[in-house]
Amino acid sequence: MAAIAVTALIVIGFPLGAIGMVVLSTQRPDEHTGMIVCSGGGPGGGTQPVDRQLLDASSMDIARTIVDVVRQRRLPRRAAALAIATGLVESGLHNLDHGDRDSLGVFQQRPSQGWGMPAQILNPVYATNSFLNHLVALTGWATMPPGVAEQAVQRSAFPGRYAPREQQASDLVAKFWSGPDNPVPPSGGGLQPVSATPSCPDHEASNLPVSPGSGGLPPGFTYPSDASEGAAVRFAVAQVGKRYVWGGKGPDVYDCSGLMLAAWAAAGVAVPAGTLSQVRAGHAVADAGQLLPGDLLFIAGALGTAAVPRHVGMYAGNGVVVDAYDEHHGVILEALADWTRRIVAIRRVADPATPSPSPGGSQHG
């Protein structure tokens, strides 16, 4: 494939003024669900100050995901505050693929301690459900003093860190929760895992024409031989035909960035939540002539710009792109040729030649 230059935004890592900007959203309660509906900056509303700390778009997206899961499980606001306080302590509400020993994800959960497989833990929806399952199994969790319930779940070597974050966590919950609280479930209740599907207007749909015949793998298509690339691409392609819902991270519905997060999680690689954060993930690829399977391709999309792209797809190899297109098309396959003139950024989130980050983070069981 001939090299095709990508527009100036790709130049060595993006200007912080363009991609790292504070993107605030207008928010209002949804009349049917009571959830706060965001109108820009991603499902979490973009980078925002919360209790004198600036939280980036990925952290806000994950906070939103946690609240959505708690709401759908009909658990009280207290459960969301405890989960968010824990995420703030353990990862800064980031989806990490490293930590102390084998700790992973938002809550730094350990596969070796029965929290799930890496591919599950690295999806914030699964990780939140898992945290809540442990939380509601604690007798009297909803009335425990600050920090006690979190420590009982996490078994951290630093138990005093949770209580100071509960006020900030409560402030985050308030951004996404309107209307009455839910009652504490009876003993053994509240254990039904759910998918997070926030009630938000779509801001990440594609605006590329869908070519006739799109949807199937071309003859002779081969999956990547590299283990990580192959796992990510196979997962993404296997989701073709599933529904698009903005903010969806699987397993039944996805938005464009949620599909990228889940696909790379299947390969044991964490990527940030949300297009605004994924466009800074990994490192830049200079042009489409250097593409490898698994690379993330960014276009302006229906409501973005070249400076702030709002739609992402994955290069699957063999001239194919897989993406969660919009609410009408769902997850589809497209020809790379239909994307090349619109690509404004390419990011490689996992490189076979680059070792994984050194472990860090907190110690807990």
**Model pLDDT for residues 278-323, shown as the tens digit of each residue:** 999 999 999 999 999 999 999 999 888 999 899 999 999 999 999 9
Q: Report, as an integer, the average pLDDT of 123-131.
A: 93
| Identity of the amino acid at 145 | P
For a pLDDT cut of 90, what percent of the chain falls above it?
Answer: 60
Looking at per-residue pLDDT, the higher value among 108 and 58 belongs to 108
Exposed, middle or buried by CB within 10 Å (0-12, 13-18, 19+), for 187? exposed
172 or 21, greater pLDDT: 172
112 vs 246, residue with greater confidence: 112
Q: Give the relative orientation of helices 166-176 and 77-91 as an angle to the nearest 10 degrees.
A: 120
Residue 198 has pLDDT above 70, yes or no: no
Q: What pLDDT score was predicted for residue 214?
A: 61
Q: Is the peptide bond before 145 cis (omega within 30 degrees of 0)?
A: no
Tens digits of residue pLDDT in 61-84: 899 999 989 998 999 999 999 999
Average pLDDT over the chain reads 83
Query: What does the pLDDT read at residue 326?
Result: 92
Give the span between the Cα atoms of 105 and 118, in whole angstroms.
9
pLDDT, greater one: 174 or 5? 174
pLDDT of residue 182: 95
pLDDT of residue 201: 55
Task: Give the span between the Cα atoms of 112 and 74, in whole angstroms.
Answer: 30
- Which residues sit opposite 5 in a β-bridge? 287
pLDDT tier, 135 (very low <50, low <70, confident <90, very high otherwise): very high
Q: What is the mean pLDDT of residues 138-160?
A: 96
State mean pLDDT over 331-343.
95
Cα-based distances in Å from 103 to 92, 191, 362: 14, 23, 8
Query: Which residue, chain included where needed, has tokens 């939380």?
Result: 135
Assess whether pLDDT exceeds 60 at residue 10.
Answer: no
Report the C-alpha gap between 70 and 35 in whole angstroms: 11
Is pLDDT at 212 greater than 80 in this prediction?
A: no
Check residue 56 and give its pLDDT.
87
> In the structure encoding, which two tokens stand for residue 21, read together?
């900007």
**CB environment 283-303: b (16+ within 10 A), e (fewer):** ebbeebeebbbbbbbbbbbee
Greater pLDDT, 186 or 77: 77
Tens of pLDDT, residue by residue over 27-36, are 444 443 444 4
